[in-house]
Amino acid sequence: MSSGGGAEASLRAVHVGRIAPLGPVPSAFFKQPVSGRVAAGPLGLAGDEQADKKVHGGHDKAVYAYPSEGYTAWIEDFPARARTLVPGGMGENLVTSGLSEDEIHIGDVLRIGSATLQVTQPRQPCFKLGLYHREPKMVRRMIETARCGWYLRVLEAGDLGAGDRIEVIERQEKGWTVRRFAALIAQKTLDTETLAEIVAMPGLAESWQMKALGLLAQMKGVHQPQ
């Protein structure tokens, strides 16, 4: 199956980062490009670290991808921060070309190099995004625009590198795009039908499925006749 973003979808760059101080907190937000092939395993890319493993890393957020095309709009929004609004500036591991949050679906399976990865959820920005760019308004702007990129789990370990083709080998045609799911997170109001759809969503990060399951149980409990 060809990519929803077309046959031209590719991996523009690969970044990894070590833990270092970011203002008052430790962070691996600082990512550096890697030349050559990089191993991708169940917990992420070789040489990449996470400072706060409660909210970063793990099987469902092993790798973070961001579309290179998104940086143009960021520079338009924050021209004074153009120096840091370059590929790698979102703390991403994979800089993609030819894909977007409107085309990628939760549960899509991608082949990059010899690795197979699955889209699990949008990125939810935290204060570290604002710290890195010295612009706290960026956090709210990412939520408003859903220019958030997406997390991936590694289904089959392998290696990948800049220039590799990105092929969507399994597509959730009736699934939610990353943008739709990110918009849902932003609105914070969920009905029982939506929650049931989230619980059954193929490929979605387990934490989101469990959260939806808990909320659904609460809502049904409230509405049950005494």
- The share of the chain scoring above pLDDT 70, in percent, equals 95
DSSP per-residue string spanning 61-95: GSEEEEETTHHHHHHHH-GGGTTT-STTTT--SEE
Pairing of strands 32-33, 166-170: unpaired
Comparison of pLDDT for 55 and 18, the residue scoring more: 18
* Mean pLDDT score, 181-196: 88
The span from the CA of 86 to the CA of 119, in Å, is: 23
The Cα–Cα gap between 66 and 96 comes to 6
Can you give the pLDDT at residue 5? 43
Confidence band, pLDDT 50/70/90 cuts, at residue 53: confident
Assess contact for 90 and 69: CB atoms under 8 A: no
pTM of the model: 0.93
Give the whole-angstrom CA distance, residue 101 versus residue 121.
11
Q: How far is CA 168 from CA 98, 110, 209, in A?
A: 12, 5, 23
Torsion angle defined by CA atoms of residues 121, 122, 123 and 125, in that order, rounded to the nearest 10 degrees: -130
7 has pLDDT over 90: no
- By DSSP bridging, strand 166-170 and strand 20-22 are unpaired
In the predicted model, is pLDDT for residue 48 greater than 90? yes
Find the range with the poorest average confidence among 62-76, 103-117, 208-222: 208-222
Q: Are 56 and 50 in contact (CB under 8 A)?
A: yes
Which range, 68-72, 170-174, 184-188, 215-219, is most confident? 68-72
> If you average pLDDT over residues 138-143, what whole number do you get?
97
Tell me the angle at which helices 137-145 and 70-77 cross, rounded to the nearest 10 degrees: 130
**pLDDT-above-90 percentage for the chain:** 83
Q: Check residue 38 and give left, alpha or beta (phi > 0: left; psi -120 to 50: alpha).
A: beta
> 222 pLDDT band (50/70/90 cuts)?
low
Mean predicted lDDT score pLDDT of the chain? 92
Nearest to 137 by CA among 188, 71, 56, 77: 77
